Amino acid sequence: MKRDFYLKLLDWKKSTTRKPLIVKGVRQVGKTYILKEFGKNEYTNTAYFNFEDDPNLVDFFVARIQPQQIIHKLSIYSEIPIRPHDTLIIFDEIQNSPRALTSLKYFCEDAPEFHVVAAGSLLGLKLGHASPFPVGKVNFLDLYPLTFGEYLDALGRTQLREFLHNARGFEPIESIFHDELIDHLKMYYYTGGMPEVVKRHISDKNDLSKVRQVQNEILSAYLQDFSKYSTKAEAIRITDTWNAIPAQLAKENKKFKYSEISKYARARDYYESIQWLLDAGLVYKSFCIKTPKLPLSAYKDENMFKLYIVDTGLLGALSNLSAKTIVEGNKLFSGFNGAFTENYVAQELIAGLSSQGNPVRELYYWSFNYSAEVDFIVQHDDDIYPLEVKAVISKRKTSLVVYGEKFKPPILSRVTQMNFKKEEYIRNYPLYAVSHFPGND
């Protein structure tokens, strides 16, 4: 399956300042598949080592870490010739060997001629606890679920994606293309971007129950991880927090409230549960800001935030969204108070801005006296861009106007089901073109 991430791997390989690479991403997002494809296509050999499937691999990292000796032993063990520059070494599920994670520092310092990539499920939980962690000695890349653009590629609509990508200015595109893109977006809301789910959708287009089956299997794997990588008491709180997110997003005011997990829930009890989900990459956190100034992180309210799920398809599965909503007009977009639309925009912003070289670790929104709210405030380069999200076709822009009157930004933007449109200083992006924000001139 074609992924934009592949180009990042090529850049890493060609870089004159290349270091061992750590690839982060949630379980079943396609890390192993794309790394193996990269090795097969771009190297003479691929030496793949999985620390979960083969616990014996840990033994090679017990003694003093000497990269040349480790490579020699791994080559013998795997019966694969591991040579500098023309062999890709993949350490998968590396979280099962803290010493292997630490070894990346020594590969960087003592054996930079070897191309090493490390990946693993829930690796984000381990990175802050490895001792010593190879700070400054590794490169990082994040792999996300397929964006809507990548989804179009997977469907074989690459030319339509290129047409959309090349659209400039805010002249409306032809209705036939606009309508087709909206239809694809409806289906994307349901399937999401997890590779196995998209593959199942393509192979069984007329049976969305197969799609839901794969999504439920992924959710079950996440529940198992909650127990595997935390204590019993922590796993219960993580599960309760995870299951509470759809209902919290369905509220008119989507601010996350601990009391709605349980009436006895306290922030101090569930703060670590949310942090676990964040470290695992399963949720994104959007903080409320009262004043849009740079840097946005300095003006956030730590106690006011929303939580979004990494993939809108998994949000639908967790919410038990019925497949019939696909054919019920705007119900999918407007349902749950626009929760799916807002979640979709969040994940497109995270993936899109990161691909532009602006890694996004958290999101922001603006709220004023509970009477006006702009859904996303984005810091891009040295500017601040507000973005209001409307799940259905709407010409209302009250909150955006309030924001504009208070802070006088040069550009105001909104995203709706409407076509591209520009009126005075307000820009309208179609929902399928969130990837264009904040540009498109």
Give first-to-last CA distance, the chain, whole Å.
31
Q: Could you tell me the CA-to-CA distances from 11 to 4, 80, 135, 153, 296 in Å, in that order?
A: 12, 25, 21, 21, 30
* CA distances in angstroms from 171 to 174, 419, 433, listed in the order given: 10, 8, 13
To the nearest 10°, report the CA torsion of 159, 440, 393, 185: 30
Backbone phi and psi for residue 413, each to the nearest 5 degrees, phi listed first: -135, 150
**For residues 91 and 83, what is the distance between their CA atoms, to the nearest angstrom?**
16
Rounded Cα distance, 422 and 428, in Å: 6
**Overall residue count recorded for the chain in this entry:** 441
pLDDT tens sequence for the chain (441 residues)? 899 999 999 999 999 999 999 999 999 999 999 999 999 999 999 999 999 999 999 999 998 999 999 999 999 999 999 999 999 999 999 988 989 999 999 999 999 999 999 998 787 776 655 456 677 899 999 999 999 999 999 999 999 999 999 998 899 999 999 999 999 999 999 999 999 999 999 999 879 999 999 999 999 999 999 998 889 999 999 999 999 999 999 888 899 999 888 877 778 789 999 999 999 999 999 999 989 999 999 999 999 999 999 999 999 999 998 888 766 656 667 666 688 899 999 999 999 876 666 667 799 999 988 778 999 999 887 889 999 998 776 666 689 999 999 999 989 999 999 999 998 889 999 999 999 998 877
State pLDDT tens for residues 195-211: 999 999 999 987 999 99
- Spatial contact of 395 and 364, defined as CB atoms under 8 Å apart: no
3-state secondary structure 144-160: CCCCHHHHHHHCCCHHH
CA dist 281 and 263 (Å) reads 27
- DSSP of 217-256: HHHHHHHHHHHHTS-HHHHHHHHHHHHHHHHHHTSSS---
Strands, sheet with 115-119, edge to edge from the N-terminal-most edge strand: 45-50, 87-92, 115-119, 21-24, 139-142
Query: Is residue 238 within 8 Å of residue 226, measured between CB atoms?
Result: yes
Q: Which residues of 32-60 are buried (b: 16+ CB within 10 A; e: fewer)?
A: bebbebbbeebbebbbbbbbeeeeebeeb
Cα–Cα–Cα angle for 398, 402, 300, rounded to 5 degrees: 115
Q: Shortest CA distance to 362 belongs to which of 266, 430, 298?
A: 298
Q: What is the rounded CA–CA span in Å between residue 165 and residue 115?
A: 33
Amino acid at 222: Y
Q: Write down the domain spans for the chain.
A: 5-142, 148-436
* Residue 69: predicted pLDDT: 96
**3-state percent helix, strand, coil for the chain, nearest multiple of 5:** 50, 15, 35
- Which CATH number is associated with domain 5-142? 3.40.50.300
Asked whether the bond before 295 is cis by omega within 30 degrees of 0, the reply is: yes
DSSP 200: H
- The pLDDT of residue 384 is 94
- What is the structure's pLDDT at 394? 62
- Cβ-in-10-Å burial (0-12, 13-18, 19+) of 202 comes to middle
pLDDT of 105 reads 95
344, 429 in Cβ contact below 8 A? Answer: no
Coil/strand/helix, residue 263: coil
C-beta atoms surrounding 16 within 10 Å: 4
Looking at residue 132, what is its pLDDT?
61
Which is nearest to 9 in space by CA: 178, 163, 202, 139? Answer: 139
Q: On the CB side of 213, how many CA atoms lie within 13 Å of its CA?
A: 8
